Amino acid sequence: MPFNHRDLQLLIKIAEHRSLTRGAKSVHMSLAAASLRIKKIESNLGLQLLYRNSNGVEFTSAGSVLLRHAWKSVAQLEELKAELGPYQDGLQTHVRVLANTTAVTEFMPRMLSRYLSQYPSVSVTLEEHLTDQIVHAIADGAADLGIVAGIKEIRGLQVIHFSTDQLVVVTPPGHALAQHDEVRFLDTLDYPQIGLYNSSTLQVFLTRILTEEVRRLHMRVQVRGFDVMCNMIAHNVGIGIMPLSVAQHYQKTLDIVCVALSDPWAVRERGLVVNDMASLSAPAQALAEMILENKPLQ
């Protein structure tokens, strides 16, 4: 196409003012630059668009045809910009976030409370998924943001580290393990445990570790959330494995003890996964930046 949107705006303003000088000024362009643009369009089309006379300028027949389409094109573009504007401003849009168990149940509710108070017209879908599912969804464009643990790099995607957490064993006071500063995960297997449901990201991760060690958990109770898990531990039903940040939150109100796991895999790097930070919608980018700035898991 031998002309762009600004060229069309220039033609419209020249027609409105019947003057090349005033038309150029109205689109913040010098007379020399405007004349050069018109000559370039005429040269590319092989057509004369304007007659210049003592009264200003007049459009040729070909110029009038181009002018008519210029009005339509600019009007359509302005209409499109008006309709897209609210989405760009975060007034009407949807953000889909896929995350692991800790993110969904613990810090994202508080994060979304702050975020939605700033973007009240944005709708957010927050779903718990396994790490592999999160990565595939981000890569396929089926979700905007992903929150994962234990991954530092994914080919073709951006993984932005925002926090480091550690898995710990949580026990009631007076438990045999509570006397230690740290223990191995295998040392916990001799005791009845409280765990999350089988499809939770944490339980899937621990099951993989057990498979490698050819061991099994003595699972006494499985629950849907860390709050129930910590309450049962406090009432001496069993012990449990969870992130330190989660345990410390419930330690404020419950009589429980946190003991570090000495296994190297117990240190969990948390990352925000996106296709491309720069290409996110304004609301999705704002939520991503809030997560990164607040470092909720640290």
The superfamily in CATH containing domain 95-159+276-294 is: Periplasmic binding protein-like II (3.40.190.10)
State residue 126's pLDDT score.
95
Are the C-beta atoms of residues 42 and 11 closer than 8 Å to each other?
A: no
- Tokens coding 295: 């470092």
The stretch 281-296 carries a mean pLDDT of 85
Give dist(CA 248, CA 261) in Å, integer. Answer: 15
- Rounded CA gap, 284 and 144, in Å? 7
Which tokens belong to 226?
Answer: 């860390």
Structure pTM? 0.62
Query: Do the domains 164-267 and 5-88 match in fold?
Result: no
Residue 262 to residue 258: CA distance in whole angstroms: 13
| Residue 298 pLDDT level (bands cut at 50, 70, 90) | very low
Domain boundaries defined on the chain:
5-88, 95-159+276-294, 164-267
Q: Which residue has the higher pLDDT, 152 or 110?
A: 110
pLDDT tens profile 34-73: 899 899 999 989 999 998 887 788 999 999 999 999 999 8
Confidence of residue 297 (pLDDT cuts 50, 70, 90): very low
For domain 164-267, give the fold: D-Maltodextrin-Binding Protein; domain 2 (3.40.190)
Write the DSSP assignment of 237-286 as a string of letters: S-BEEEEHHHHHHHHTTS--EEEEE-SGGGEEEEEEEES-GGGS-HHHHH
Q: Tens of pLDDT along 71-125?
A: 998 888 887 776 666 566 555 588 999 999 888 888 899 899 999 999 888 899 9
- Burial of 92: CB neighbours in 10 Å, binned 0-12, 13-18, 19+: middle
**Which residue type, as a one-letter code, is found at position 232?**
M
pLDDT of residue 91: 52
What is the spatial distance between Cα 24 and Cα 288, in angstroms, rounded to a whole number? 42
**Residue count of the chain:** 298
Residue 143, helix vs strand vs coil: coil
pLDDT of residue 171: 97
Tell me what the mean pLDDT of segment 176-193 comes to: 94
Please state the rounded mean pLDDT for residues 224-242: 95
239 and 191 Cβ atoms separated by less than 8 Å: yes
Q: How far is CA 147 from the centre of its chain?
A: 9
Confidence of residue 136 (pLDDT cuts 50, 70, 90): very high
Contact residues for 136 (Cβ-Cβ < 8 A; gap 6+): 142
Task: Report the percentage of the chain scoring pLDDT > 70.
Answer: 94
| Fold (topology level) of 5-88 | Arc Repressor Mutant, subunit A (1.10.10)
**b/e string for 129-153 if b means 16 or more Cβ within 10 A?**
bbbebbbebbbeeebbbbbbbebee
Confidence at 28, pLDDT banded by 50, 70, 90:
confident
Number of separate helices (H) and strands (E) present in the chain: 11, 12
Does position 162 have pLDDT exceeding 60, yes or no?
yes
Give 179's DSSP letter.
G
Highest mean pLDDT out of 19-33, 102-116, 171-185: 171-185
Token look-up 């992130």 returns: 243
